[in-house]
C-alpha cells in the first residue's frame, strides 16, 4: 500500500516538474481553438504547434483529436495524430480505429483501406473492422459494407451495436427504412442489445414509413429496458420526428423532456433545443434557451452564435439576427481574434435573399478587414443571387472567386451543372466566344482539368458550343485538355463537333 502511494506521489511530482520549454503550458485543444475554432485558424495553430517540437500529454492529444473530430476539423486532427505517433506516442486499437476514420474523412476511403491493411493482425479487431464498415456506410458503399459485415461474422469477432447501427444508418440514407426493423431483430437474436443510438435510428425509420404509433411503442420499450436510459438525444430525436409530422405540441413536450435531461448542461443539447424550437416556430422559447446557453457558457462559442443566427434568419427575425451578430462581433473585437466567415455568411445570404446586395457587400468587406477572407460558400450565395437575376457578368466573376477561394483553402470547388449550363447557354446565345473560352479556363482551375460531370454538361450544352471549339482547335486536343485521356474515348460519341 505504502509503495503504491509513493509511486503515485512520485508520478505526480514528475508531471509538475516537466519543463515548459518541452511541454505546452496550456491544454493543446485550448491552444488550437483559442480563436473560436475557425478552420483556417486551427490549421495555422496546428502547424505552429507541430513546428515548435513541443510535446503534449497523451490524454490531451486524445482529447484534442476527439474535439477536432467532433467539429469536423479532420485535417488538423489526423495531422496531430500522425505526428505524435511518429514522435513515439503509442496508439491503442481504439486510437487506431479513430485514426482510420479521420483518414477516410480527410484523405478518402482508399487511404483508409490502405491504413487498415497496414495494421498488425493484433489490431484488426471489432473496433477497426467496425470503423472501416462505418466509413463504407457513410459513403453509401453498400456492397463493401455488407461484405465487411459478413466478414466480421465469419471471423467470430465480438459484435457490438456499432456495425448494426452503421448498417441501419446506411439503409436510412438509401431510403430503405423498412429494412431497419429486421436488423434490430437480427441483432437481438445475436445477443447484441440495442443502445440509445439503435433506438434513435429505429424511431426515425418508423417515422419515415409514417408509423408514428410505432415510434411511441419504441419509446415505451426503451423505458422498459433497464439497461438503456433515454437521454436528451432520444428526446431531441423524438421532437424532430414530431416536428416533421407537424405535431408541434408533442414536439414541444419532448423538448421539455430534453431540457430536463440535460443535467450536465451539454452545449450540443442547448444547440438542439434552439434549432428544434425554431422548427416549431416558437421564437420566445428560442430566446429563452439562448439566454440559458449564455449563462451556462459565458464565453459563448462561435458555433453557438452561428446556430442561433441561422435559426433567427429562418424565423424571419432579421433584426434579431443582426443584433446577435453584432453581439458576437463585439465579443470578438479584442485581442487577435478574427471574424468567423461562416457567421458572416449567414447574414450575407439573408441580405442577398431579401434583395439587398449592398448590405451583403458591406458586411463582406467588413469581415475581410477583420481578417475573414470570403470562402467558396460566401461566393456561392452571390452565385445564387446573380443566377436568379440572370446577371451573367458578375455571376462569372463570383464563380471565379469561388473556385479560387476553394483551392486556396486546401480544397476544391466547382459550380453546379445547372449553373454551368446556364452560363454556357448565355455565351452561345450572345455569340460570346471569348467569354466561353474564359469561363472554361476558370472551370479548369487549379488542376487544368474539369470534372466528368462538368465535362458532360459542357459537351451537351449546344451544337454551337461544340462548333466553336471544333473551329478553335482539333477536337481530340480539346477533349484531352479538359479531361484525363482515359475518359475521352468513352465520351467520344457524345459530341457532334
495, pLDDT greater than 50: no
pLDDT band at 16 (very low <50, low <70, confident <90, very high): very low
The radius of gyration computed from the CA coordinates of the chain, to the nearest angstrom, equals 26
Among 133, 106, 128, smallest CA distance to 116 is for 128
Q: How many CB atoms lie within 10 A of CB 223?
A: 12
pLDDT in tens, 440-466: 888 877 666 666 666 666 666 544 455
pLDDT of residue 474: 39
Q: Can you list the alpha helix ranges (DSSP code H) found in 174-211?
A: 180-189, 196-208
Among the ranges 15-24, 46-55, 320-329, 418-427, which has the highest mean pLDDT value?
320-329
342 inside domain: yes
pLDDT of residue 57: 74
Average predicted confidence (pLDDT) for the chain: 84
Alpha-carbon 88 to chain mean position: 31
323 inside domain: yes
7, pLDDT greater than 50: no
89, pLDDT greater than 90: no
Whether residue 230 contacts residue 261, with contact meaning beta carbons closer than 8 Å, is answered with yes
Among 488, 434, 433, smallest CA distance to 465 is for 433
Cell of 112: 483508409
Backbone angles phi, psi at 284, to 5 degrees: -60, -45
Among 87, 115, 119, 122, smallest CA distance to 101 is for 115
Whether residue 96 contacts residue 119, with contact meaning beta carbons closer than 8 Å, is answered with yes
pLDDT of residue 453: 61
Q: Percent of the chain at pLDDT above 90?
A: 58
pLDDT band at 481 (very low <50, low <70, confident <90, very high): low
In whole angstroms, give the CA distance from residue 310 to residue 344: 11
8, pLDDT greater than 50: no
Whether residue 166 contacts residue 130, with contact meaning beta carbons closer than 8 Å, is answered with yes
pLDDT band at 51 (very low <50, low <70, confident <90, very high): confident
- Helix/strand/coil for 6: helix
Number of domains in the chain: 1
Domain limits at 356? Answer: 299-366
215 inside domain: no
In whole angstroms, give the CA distance from residue 383 to residue 473: 31
Lowest mean pLDDT, pick from 252-256, 295-299, 390-394, 458-462? 458-462
9 inside domain: no
171 inside domain: no
In whole angstroms, give the CA distance from residue 112 to residue 251: 40
Whether residue 135 contacts residue 109, with contact meaning beta carbons closer than 8 Å, is answered with yes
Backbone angles phi, psi at 271, to 5 degrees: -60, -45
409 inside domain: no
Whether residue 308 contacts residue 274, with contact meaning beta carbons closer than 8 Å, is answered with yes
Among 75, 87, 86, smallest CA distance to 44 is for 75
pLDDT band at 2 (very low <50, low <70, confident <90, very high): very low
In whole angstroms, give the CA distance from residue 402 to residue 423: 15
In whole angstroms, give the CA distance from residue 294 to residue 270: 10
489 inside domain: no
Lowest mean pLDDT, pick from 204-208, 301-305, 356-360? 301-305
pLDDT of residue 43: 75
pLDDT of residue 480: 56
Which of 23 and 104 is assigned the larger pLDDT? 104
344 inside domain: yes
pLDDT of residue 103: 95
Which of 65 and 9 is assigned the larger pLDDT? 65
If you average pLDDT over residues 309-331, what whole number do you get?
96
pLDDT in tens, 265-316: 999 999 999 999 999 999 999 999 999 999 999 988 889 999 999 999 999 9
418, pLDDT greater than 50: yes
Amino acid at each position: 500500500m505504502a509503495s503504491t502511494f509513493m509511486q503515485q506521489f512520485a508520478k505526480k511530482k514528475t508531471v509538475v516538474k516537466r519543463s515548459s520549454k518541452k511541454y505546452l503550458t496550456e491544454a493543446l485543444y485550448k491552444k488550437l481553438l483559442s480563436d473560436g475554432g475557425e478552420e483556417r485558424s486551427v490549421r495555422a495553430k496546428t502547424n505552429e504547434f507541430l513546428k515548435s517540437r513541443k510535446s503534449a500529454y497523451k490524454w490531451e492529444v486524445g482529447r484534442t483529436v476527439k474535439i477536432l473530430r467532433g467539429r469536423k476539423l479532420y485535417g488538423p486532427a489526423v495531422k496531430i495524430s500522425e505526428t505524435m505517433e511518429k514522435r513515439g506516442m503509442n496508439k491503442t486499437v481504439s486510437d487506431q480505429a479513430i485514426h482510420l476514420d479521420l483518414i477516410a474523412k480527410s484523405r478518402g476511403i482508399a487511404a483508409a483501406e490502405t491504413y487498415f491493411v497496414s495494421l498488425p493482425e493484433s489490431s484488426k479487431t471489432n473496433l477497426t473492422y467496425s470503423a472501416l464498415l462505418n466509413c463504407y456506410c457513410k459513403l453509401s458503399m453498400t456492397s463493401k459494407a455488407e461484405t465487411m459485415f459478413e466478414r466480421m461474422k465469419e471471423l467470430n469477432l465480438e459484435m457490438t451495436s456499432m456495425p448494426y447501427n452503421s448498417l441501419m444508418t446506411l439503409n436510412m440514407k438509401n431510403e430503405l427504412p423498412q429494412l431497419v426493423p429486421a436488423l434490430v431483430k437480427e441483432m437481438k437474436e445475436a445477443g447484441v442489445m440495442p443502445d440509445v443510438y439503435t433506438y434513435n435510428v429505429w424511431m426515425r425509420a418508423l417515422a419515415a414509413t409514417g408509423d408514428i404509433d410505432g415510434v411511441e411503442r419504441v419509446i415505451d420499450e426503451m423505458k422498459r429496458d433497464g439497461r438503456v436510459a433515454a437521454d436528451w438525444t432520444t428526446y431531441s430525436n423524438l421532437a424532430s420526428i414530431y416536428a416533421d409530422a407537424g405535431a408541434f405540441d408533442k414536439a414541444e413536450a419532448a423538448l421539455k423532456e430534453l431540457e430536463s435531461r440535460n443535467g450536465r448542461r451539454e452545449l450540443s443539447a442547448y444547440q438542439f433545443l434552439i434549432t428544434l424550437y425554431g422548427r416549431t416556430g416558437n421564437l420566445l422559447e428560442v430566446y429563452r434557451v439562448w439566454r440559458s446557453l449564455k449563462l451556462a457558457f459565458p464565453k459563448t462559442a462561435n458555433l453557438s452564435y452561428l446556430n442561433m443566427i441561422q435559426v433567427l434568419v429562418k424565423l424571419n427575425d432579421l433584426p434579431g439576427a443582426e443584433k446577435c451578430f453584432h453581439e458576437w462581433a463585439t465579443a470578438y473585437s479584442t485581442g487577435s481574434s478574427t471574424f468567423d466567415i461562416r457567421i458572416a455568411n449567414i447574414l450575407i445570404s439573408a441580405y442577398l435573399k431579401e434583395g439587398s446586395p449592398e448590405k451583403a457587400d458591406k458586411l463582406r468587406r467588413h469581415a475581410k478587414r477583420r481578417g475573414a477572407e470570403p470562402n467558396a460558400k460566401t461566393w456561392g450565395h452571390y452565385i445564387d443571387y446573380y443566377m436568379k437575376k440572370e446577371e451573367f457578368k458578375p455571376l462569372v466573376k463570383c464563380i471565379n472567386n469561388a473556385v479560387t477561394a476553394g483551392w486556396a483553402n486546401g480544397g476544391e470547388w466547382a459550380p453546379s451543372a445547372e449553373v454551368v449550363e446556364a452560363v454556357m447557354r448565355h455565351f452561345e446565345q450572345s455569340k460570346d466566344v471569348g467569354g466561353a473560352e474564359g469561363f472554361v479556363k476558370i472551370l479548369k482551375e487549379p488542376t487544368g482539368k474539369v470534372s466528368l460531370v462538368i465535362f458532360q454538361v459542357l459537351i451537351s450544352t449546344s451544337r454551337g458550343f461544340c462548333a466553336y471549339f471544333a473551329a478553335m482547335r482539333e477536337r481530340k486536343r480539346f477533349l484531352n485538355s479538359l479531361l484525363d485521356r482515359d475518359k475521352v474515348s468513352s465520351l467520344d460519341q457524345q459530341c457532334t463537333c
